[in-house]
């Protein structure tokens, strides 16, 4: 079994300005730093064997706070954990897209799952990318095939892996892990600084423990957190 901690990065300046996609590489805001610190505190007492992150600055910064509490960890950046690629629309706001490409924007709203922005990828592409990452992760961290002496008290030894990524890609990971119909990806809400915990027993066999958990985050305006 692999215990997955799926973490959305803290709020960034681009998030406030509602910029889309991978072109936005803005740093964490003051609120985002507080969220990242809260995530790190929440996970401080948890066993984490590996830490992966999107290469985006806001994700790496969030992962860095987590690593401070787990000195043995080396954060590994993986490009498959990047946010959805909106191609020509990356870095733009929805309002600007609707002004510049009104007809394409209408198609996007009509077919949000399969529509591909100019030069970008669609949700199905992101789910496939998430599946590629998960396949490699399972090959590296699945402990079920270890010899019996490597198991503790007759129980299968589990690994715990933290993954810091973006709202869209985390939805794709969860959709893939739970073998959900792809159209349900649009019904998942993943907040900044949230933690989702999934116990993964292999292909098509996962159990959600928590989804979009934000109980650890400071309240808006809380200067103590």
In 3D space, the residue among 51, 71, 22 whose CA is nearest the CA of residue 164 turns out to be 51
Note the pLDDT of residue 134: 97
> Looking at the domain assignment, is residue 98 inside a domain?
yes
The helix (run of H) or strand (run of E) holding residue 160 is strand 159-165
Q: How far apart are CA 123 and CA 27, in angstroms?
A: 25
% of the chain at pLDDT higher than 90? 76
Tokens for 44, please give them: 């401080």
**pLDDT higher than threshold 60 for residue 200:** yes
Note the pLDDT of residue 22: 57
Model confidence band, residue 225 (pLDDT cutoffs 50, 70, 90) = very low
**pLDDT higher than threshold 60 for residue 94:** yes
Q: What angle do CA 141, 186, 196 make, to 5 degrees?
A: 35
Tokens for 203, please give them: 């292909």
**Residue 136 backbone dihedrals phi, psi, to 5 degrees:** -65, -35
Q: Which domain holds residue 173?
A: 2-213
From the number of C-beta atoms within 10 Å of its C-beta (0-12, 13-18, 19+), residue 47 rates as: exposed
Per the structure, how many domains does the chain have? Answer: 1
> Looking at the domain assignment, is residue 224 inside a domain?
no
> Looking at the domain assignment, is residue 218 inside a domain?
no
> Looking at the domain assignment, is residue 23 inside a domain?
yes
> Looking at the domain assignment, is residue 37 inside a domain?
yes
Note the pLDDT of residue 110: 92
> Looking at the domain assignment, is residue 154 inside a domain?
yes
DSSP state of 200: E
Q: Cα 33 vs. chain centroid, distance in angstroms?
A: 17
The pLDDT tens digits of the residues spanning 11-66 come to 998 888 777 875 567 899 999 999 999 999 999 999 999 999 999 999 999 999 99
Instruction: Report the half-sphere exposure of 223 (CA within 13 A, side-chain side).
Output: 0
Question: Per DSSP, what are the bridge partners of residue 199?
Answer: 3, 207
- Name the average pLDDT for the chain: 89
Model confidence band, residue 81 (pLDDT cutoffs 50, 70, 90) = very high
Note the pLDDT of residue 146: 46
Q: How far apart are CA 214 and CA 193, in angstroms?
A: 7
**Residue 62 backbone dihedrals phi, psi, to 5 degrees:** -60, -45
Model confidence band, residue 173 (pLDDT cutoffs 50, 70, 90) = very high
> Looking at the domain assignment, is residue 219 inside a domain?
no
Distance spanning both ends of the chain, measured CA to CA:
34
Q: What CATH code is carried by the domain that includes residue 113? A: 3.40.50.1240
- Rounded mean pLDDT, 109-135: 95
Model confidence band, residue 153 (pLDDT cutoffs 50, 70, 90) = very low
Tokens for 55, please give them: 């290469």
Model confidence band, residue 145 (pLDDT cutoffs 50, 70, 90) = low
Q: How many CB atoms lie within 10 A of CB 72?
A: 8
> Looking at the domain assignment, is residue 199 inside a domain?
yes
In 3D space, the residue among 81, 78, 80, 89 whose CA is nearest the CA of residue 21 turns out to be 89
């Amino acid at each position: 079994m692999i215990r997955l901690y799926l973490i959305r990065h803290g709020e960034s300046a681009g998030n406030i300005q509602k910029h889309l996609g991978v072109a936005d590489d803005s740093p964490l805001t003051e609120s985002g730093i507080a969220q990242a610190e809260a995530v790190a505190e929440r996970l401080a007492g948890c066993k984490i064997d590996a830490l992966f992150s999107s290469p985006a600055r806001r994700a790496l910064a969030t992962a860095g706070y987590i690593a401070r509490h787990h000195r043995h960890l080396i954060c590994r950046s993986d490009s498959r954990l990047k946010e959805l690629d909106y191609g020509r629309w990356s870095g733009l706001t929805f309002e600007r897209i609707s002004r510049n490409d009104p007809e394409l924007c209408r198609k996007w709203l009509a077919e949000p799952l399969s529509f591909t922005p100019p030069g970008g990828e669609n949700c199905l592409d992101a789910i496939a990318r998430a599946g590629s990452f998960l396949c490699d992760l399972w090959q590296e961290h699945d402990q079920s095939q270890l010899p019996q002496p490597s198991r503790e008290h007759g129980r299968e030894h589990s690994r715990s892996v933290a993954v810091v990524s973006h709202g869209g890609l985390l939805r794709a990971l969860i959709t893939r892990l739970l073998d959900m119909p792809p159209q349900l990806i649009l019904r998942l809400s993943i907040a900044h600084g949230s933690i989702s915990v999934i116990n993964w027993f292999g292909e098509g066999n996962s159990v959600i423990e928590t989804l979009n958990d934000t109980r650890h985050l400071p309240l808006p305006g809380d200067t103590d957190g």
